Chains A and B, each alone.
Chain A
Amino acid sequence: MAKDPTPLERFIQGIIPENPVYRQLLGLCPTLAVTNNMKAAMTMAGAVAFVLLGANILTSLIRNLLKPHLRIVIFTLTIATFVTIVDRFLAAYMYTMSKSLGPYIPLIIVNCIIIARCEVCASKQSVVTAGADAMGQSLGFGLALASIAAVREILGTGMFFGLRILPLSWPDWVIMVLPPGAFFTLGLLLGAVNLIESYREKGRNKG
């Protein structure tokens, strides 16, 4: 059996090598839905980070008490509670953002990333490792969201975070902020990541 990954390894793995969106293909629903603009994407990334961190740490604290056939129930309960807290928090302090994100914040509950991390890492390893894993994965998720949101917002509206980047003469590619644009952007970026990964594989095999 290989040694369990250390906290630092977990953290670094989560950012690019085991990126939840591009490599594990988890959590695609919010990735497509909220990446219309950077602000919404970053809010979603922050919310997922909070829930992932909380759920991982709590699960890791009680990992020795978990019964195998009840653990999914406990994961679900924990995640649902944290998501409710985040949702109420956003409704209180960022009301317009909460309204535009709409039903996608509660959908974090069924976001496969969080249950997968609880199952794979938090229920087996210590609190520090679980915390590092959560931070790495959320950073990776945030990076993925940022990449897609940047493409969609810049091409679709010429703005970035609400600030004008492209000149006014840019004909807005409105399709990018509509659903098809989300599918195209994610599909093409996924293809690009796969291509880069295959070149790195070839380089590794040659050397």
Chain B
Amino acid sequence: MDYFLDIFLIAISAALINNFVFYYFVGICPFIGVSRKIDMAVGMGCAVTFVITIAAFLSWTITTLILIPGAPLSSFVAGFFVTEAQAATIDLTILSYIVYIFAIASSVQFVEMYIRKFFPLLYKSFGVFLPLITTNCAILFACLTIMSNVAGVENPADAWGLGKSLTLAFCGGMGFTLAIVIMSGIREELDFCDIPASLEGAAITLIVAGIISMAFMGFAGVDSGLRKAMESGEITFRSQLKLPDSESQISVLLAAFTK
């Protein structure tokens, strides 16, 4: 139950509350560059989501199996050269950035080959933007977040598993897609407006992005509120469902929110 709550909160946090574009400022370059037409924006968003999920899978696997101290594969290989105890302390996390960027480059290459084979028209319309996904900050950012939750936690039991990592990556990608589609819709309308010449292009995009970012700030506190409401065990449904740790039953859902 707790696990699914965590996954759900990670999902809405990555997609809405801490949106990759409007809160963390990653993925701005394609956000400004590709958001002129809605269909291109949707295509770019889906491609980025695809790449981010594959890259997250690769980076989680490599981090857990090779890079962190005490990882199975690296201590197995090191066990041939040094003692068991020393092999368990080998820390390869200094290589993590290089490994991630090459994992991302390979994912992009893989996705490029896939799209060229199965969607040749889409491939043509993407042009040079597809290889440019490698330099999209959002993908590396997702890998870094996963690394900090796997290698950077004090308590090994808190380290993220594959499920949470993939949720973060996929929902982060979905949040990026949402952002870029909203922006492209607005920009299609802006084409009919009378914008001062100096603000045309990137400048007006950034100002509009600022306004949307203010709107997204309204989501702040949603995940903590949900978590508090569900963890304190003060919600029961009208049926006989009783959460395992609640001693009392408060019958109305609203009571939990009017504290």
Chain A: residues with CB nearer than 8 A to chain B? 25-26, 28-29, 32-33, 73, 76-77, 80-81, 83-84, 87-88, 103, 106-107, 109-110, 112, 115, 175, 178-184, 186-188, 190-192, 194-195, 198
Q: A33 vs B209: C-alpha distance in the bound complex, in angstroms?
A: 14
18 A-B pairs (CB sep. < 8 Å): A28-B32, A80-B97, A84-B94, A88-B94, A178-B217, A179-B22, A179-B23, A179-B213, A180-B217, A182-B25, A182-B210, A184-B207, A184-B210, A187-B199, A187-B206, A187-B209, A191-B198, A198-B197
B160 within 8 A of A: no
Residues of B with C-beta under 8 A to A73: 105
Q: Inside 8 A of B244's CB, which chain A residues have their CB?
A: none
The 4 closest A-B CB pairs, nearest first, are A183-B210, A187-B206, A195-B198, A187-B207
- A106: contacting residue among B29, B97, B105, CB under 8 A: B97
**In the bound complex, CA of A107 to CA of B206 (Å):** 20
Interface check B59, CB cutoff 8 A: no
Chain B: how many interface residues by the 8 Å CB criterion? 42
B207 cross-chain contacts in A, Cβ below 8 A: 183-184, 187-188
Contact of A110 (CB < 8 Å), options: B24, B95, B140, B197: B140
- What chain A residues lie within 8 Å of B217 (beta carbons)? 178-180
With A29-B26, A87-B97, A112-B29 already in contact, the answer to whether A191 and B203 are too (CB < 8 A) is: yes
Quick one: closest B residue to A87, CB to CB? B97
Binary contact readout B28-59 vs A (1 if CB under 8 angstroms, 0 otherwise)? 11001000000000000000000000000000
The answer to whether residues A107 and B140 also contact, given A80-B98, A183-B210, A190-B202 and a CB cut-off of 8 A, is: yes
In contact, B135 and A110 (Cβ under 8 angstroms): yes
The answer to whether B97 touches A183 (Cβ under 8 A) is: no
- Give the nearest-CB partner of A34 in chain B: B25
Question: Closest residue to B206 on the A side, CB-wise?
Answer: A187
CB within 8 Å of A: which B187-225 residues: 196-200, 202-207, 209-211, 213-214, 217
CA distance A25 to B30 in the complex (A): 11
Given A103-B145, A106-B144, A115-B135: A29 touches B213 (CB 8 Å cut-off): no
A77–chain B nearest beta-carbon distance, Å: 7
Contact present for B209 and A183 (CB under 8 Å): yes
Contact at A109–B97, with CB atoms within 8 Å? yes
Whether B199 and A194, one on each chain, are in contact in the complex, defined by CB atoms closer than 8 angstroms, is: yes
Q: Is B111 in contact with chain A by the CB < 8 A criterion? A: no
Q: Decide: A84 and B24 in contact? CB cutoff 8 A.
A: no
Q: Are A186 and B23 in contact (CB under 8 A)?
A: no
**Docked-complex contact B206 and A110, CB < 8 angstroms:** no
Residues of chain A contacted by B101 (CB below 8 angstroms): 76, 80, 109-110
Q: What's the nearest-Cβ distance from chain A to residue B86, in Å?
A: 22
A198 to B210, CA, bound (A): 25
What is the bound-complex CA distance between A184 and B212, given in angstroms? Answer: 11
Within 8 Å CB of A107, what residues of B? 26, 137, 140-141, 144
Indicate whether A180 sits within 8 Å of B210 (C-beta atoms), given known contacts A80-B101, A112-B135, A187-B204: yes
> How distant is the Cα of A192 from the Cα of B206 in the complex, in angstroms?
13
Known contacts A25-B29, A188-B207; 11 additional CB pairs below 8 A are: A84-B97, A106-B144, A179-B210, A183-B206, A184-B210, A187-B205, A187-B206, A187-B210, A191-B199, A192-B198, A194-B197
